[in-house]
Chain A
Amino acid sequence: MKKGISTFFLSIMMLMVIVGIGAQDADKYAVKAPIKIQFWHALEAQYKPLIDKVIADFEKQNPLIKVEAIYQGSYADLNEKLIAAQAAGTTLPALTVANTPYVAQYGAAGLCEILDPYIKATSFDINDFGEGLRRASSYDGKQVSLPFLISTQIMFYNKDIAEAEKIKLPEKWSDMDEFMKKASKISGGVTQRYATVIPGWDQWYFEPFYLNAGVKIIKDNNTTDLGEPTAVAITKKLKQWCDEKTAYWAYGKDASSIMRQNFLDGKAFSVVHTTSLYEMYATNAKFKVGMHYLPGNATRKSEIGGCVLLIPAKNKQDVKNAAWKLLSYLTSKEVNMLWAKETGYMPTRNSVLQTSEAKAFLEEKPAFKAVFDNLNNINPRIQHPAYAALSKIWMQELAKVIIEGGDVDSSMKKMAQLINEALED
């Protein structure tokens, strides 16, 4: 009996200690005094009402925290300002978005606060994000950011033409030849309608064609496979379609806007772009816009795009605590669907997909089925500190050989050599 009582009290005490430690940890990250913080983002003016609404709701729930949301331009502009602030050690925002490829560089340099202790202390449900998303926002096994506005590569197509002309969208790389012939219109050597347009201004768009064929962009020994026969064969195919004028390689400063215009004007049956632009296409097109998951090869996967949220580590602890509150709110289940509905980015939480809201969203925008069906096939981007240098070489050399012409074999070999040098650096 005595033993039973002492065991009972011991258990109670242990429980109290555990709860106490947990409460102490959570207390460590609590906001105790009024504070004003900055949130840097890259959402353009059209999203200002949405940002304002979300921030106002957050401030209502957290009266001690005032948030100044600042639009800092494109992801590249924001990156410049962030690293300048990081170098100066002042004027850093409490919370900022960052384009997914920057996670590796920022993580390696220690720019980001490691979020694991915050996640543990506040019992933040990190496992509600898919594994790919968790990996895309972590570095070296540590959670240095959280997924925010996530997109992936997709093929937008003219649904009206597809139905009228019974054009079958390509499921496999081997279907592409037939698709190119069927979806394009060429008369007298002049293309009236391209089957598709491939963005060559950012390697992210054409990267899945290589990855799905089994090309290792960066191998374990820090070299590339891009000069090998599989990669060369993919490039030859891309060049062949462009030479035949059934497709074109969109490259140059305003290539993105020209590509969009060509699609909206009916000069292109389809375009490869990002899911985040669905709203733009659907609103401006005079026809029904469909989304089709990119054709597969050995695998059928796409990559994560968009941005993550991170807290700069150099901030003071009270600022970081307030930033964590905001970060948790912005990535919470309640706000997650709102981003998806209003921006065209994808829901990031698995639990959100089971809600009636998500079902209603899919009924309203059935084109997103192509994305929802493939959520498990969306992988993190390749993370490597030299990836920016690699992608620049890749984009330039590919555009040169496809647009200006030349021997694909020797160009790819030369390109691989340059990339290997960059990786070795």
Chain B
Amino acid sequence: MTTKKKINYRRREKLKDFLCVLPAVIFFALFVYYPIVKLFQISFTNWNLISDTYKYVGLKNFKWLFKGSGFASLVNSLAITFRYTFWEIVITIAGGLLLASLFNRESKVFSALRSIVFMPRYIAISASAIVFMWILNDQYGILNYVLKVIGLKPIMFNTKENALTAVLILTGWRVIGYGMMIYLSAMKGISPEYYEAAKLDGANGFQRFRFITLPLLSPTTLFLFVTTFIASMKVFQSIDVMTSGGPYGATEVIVYWIYELAFVDFRVDRAAAVTLVFFVILMGFTAATMKFTERNIYYES
């Protein structure tokens, strides 16, 4: 093959590669990157979504957010969002790991149990949220009925202190099985030779878990941490159905606040400014997590 032919061949191959990724590039450009650019533009306007016209107002929306009345709401909703995210990560990782360790058995009973624990993941959030609303209802809920029957005090979920807990109960029910399944599949990938060698060295069950299972599961933990972090920071549906951000804004997570700004208050300009700030927080936190964990993750498994 002459040099010229080689170059042509390479070019053709490159073109083919490019054509293969082109649909994805177009899709991302249209539905991901363009909206981000548009969002940036809207945040500098006074657009209310229903008017055909708008004016550029410079940094007015950001001033409202950081120096005006928006700041208290931003701090409040970020605090609630991080609190929610923290507990969802704990439930997914700690709960998932615990259940995976318990259910890592080969029998029909355990297989059925695994299916039962995992199933909630596939039930629509809106449907399960309505069911949980009734289970946890202060006056007519079955939980408080049972508590009353066994002589305990009812739990009032429609309060500032407990409303987020009610949402987290639904979240826990949905995500714990997912965490378990991811950990189970990762556990299957750990070579039994490590355990045999450790056994020969006299390591007990806890030591094998602590020094073999846990380190080798760290890539899975990182994966769960990052994906759960991003997903839970964007929580909306369960809040919308169960609490609508209430009572008194006690469950007003940031995405719900953005939704209210845009669709209730007709302030899509402010919603865009908050979304941009949220975008930067998410990007920054994810990048920092990746950087921090780069040196602490074992990829042998």
> A-side interface residues toward B, CB under 8 Å?
76, 79-80, 83, 86-87, 105-106, 109-111, 251-255, 258, 261-262, 385-386, 388-389, 392, 396-397, 399-400, 403-404, 418, 421-422, 425
Q: Which residues of B contact A109 (CB under 8 A)?
A: 48, 50-51, 266
In residues 221-257 of chain B, which contact A (Cβ within 8 Å)?
A: 241-244, 246-249
Name the B residues within 8 Å of A105 (CB-CB): 48, 50, 266
Distance in Å: Cβ of B69 to nearest Cβ of chain A: 5
Chain A positions within 8 Å of B277 at CB level: none
- The minimal Cβ–Cβ distance linking B190 to chain A, given in whole angstroms, is 45
Closest A residue, CB atoms, query B139:
A258
Q: Tell me the residues in window 102-160 of chain B with beta carbons closer than 8 Å to chain A beta carbons.
A: 133-134, 137-140, 158-160
* B138 surroundings in chain A (CB, below 8 A): 258
Bound: A253/B133 CA distance, A:
9
Is B201 part of the binding interface, using a Cβ–Cβ cutoff of 8 Å?
Answer: no
- Which residues of the partner chain B approach A397 to less than 8 Å between Cβ atoms? 248
Give the residues in chain A near B263, CB-CB below 8 Å. Answer: 76, 79-80, 83
Bound Cα distance from A342 to B270, whole angstroms: 42
Complex contacts, B193 vs chain A, CB 8 Å: none
A16 CA to B51 CA in the complex, in Å? Answer: 42
Report the separation of the CA atoms of residues A26 and B69 in the bound assembly, to the nearest whole angstrom: 51
Contact B50 A106, beta carbon cutoff 8 Å: yes
Tell me if A389 and B265 are in contact (CB < 8 A).
yes
Question: Which of A253, A258, A400, A422 meets B243, CB within 8 Å?
Answer: A253
Q: Which residues of B contact A (CB under 8 A)?
A: 48-52, 64, 69, 133-134, 137-140, 158-160, 241-244, 246-249, 260, 263-266
5 closest cross-chain pairs (CB), A and B: A109-B50, A252-B158, A109-B51, A396-B248, A400-B248
User: A253-B242, A254-B134 provided; 10 other pairs, C-beta below 8 A?
Assistant: A83-B263, A109-B50, A110-B51, A252-B247, A253-B241, A258-B140, A388-B264, A388-B266, A392-B260, A399-B247
Closest to B129 in A: A253
Indicate if the CB atoms of B247 and A111 lie closer than 8 Å.
Answer: no
Q: Is the interface of B mostly helix, strand, loop or mixed?
A: loop
Given contacts A251-B247, A252-B158, A388-B266, contact A258 B51 (CB under 8 A): no
B residues near A385, Cβ cutoff 8 Å: 266
Residue of B nearest to A403 (CB): B247
Interchain CA distance A248-B290 in the complex, whole Å: 51
Question: Smallest CB–CB gap between A13 and chain B, Å?
Answer: 44
Most chain-A CB neighbours within 10 Å: which of B140, B242, B247? Answer: B247
Q: With A252-B158, A253-B133, A258-B139 given, is the CB distance from A392 to B49 under 8 Å?
A: no
Distance (whole angstroms) from the CB of A354 to the closest CB of chain B: 39
CB distance from A272 to the nearest CB of B (A): 18
Across the interface, do B264 and A86 meet the contact criterion of CB distance under 8 Å?
no
CB distance from A39 to the nearest CB of B (A): 20
Q: Please tell me which one of the listed residues B50, B133, B247 contacts residue A87 in the complex, with CB atoms under 8 A apart.
A: B50
A119 vs chain B, min Cβ distance (A): 24
A255 nearest CB neighbor, chain B only: B158
Contacts of A110 in B (CB 8 A): 51-52
Query: Closest CB of chain B to A189's CB: distance in Å?
Result: 16
Quote the shortest CB–CB distance from B252 to chain A (angstroms). Answer: 10
Instruction: List residues of chain A with CB within 8 A of the CB of B64.
Output: 425
A to B CB contacts below 8 Å, 21 in the list: A83-B49, A83-B50, A86-B49, A105-B48, A105-B50, A109-B266, A251-B246, A253-B133, A253-B158, A253-B246, A258-B139, A392-B260, A392-B264, A396-B247, A396-B248, A397-B248, A399-B247, A399-B248, A400-B247, A404-B248, A425-B64
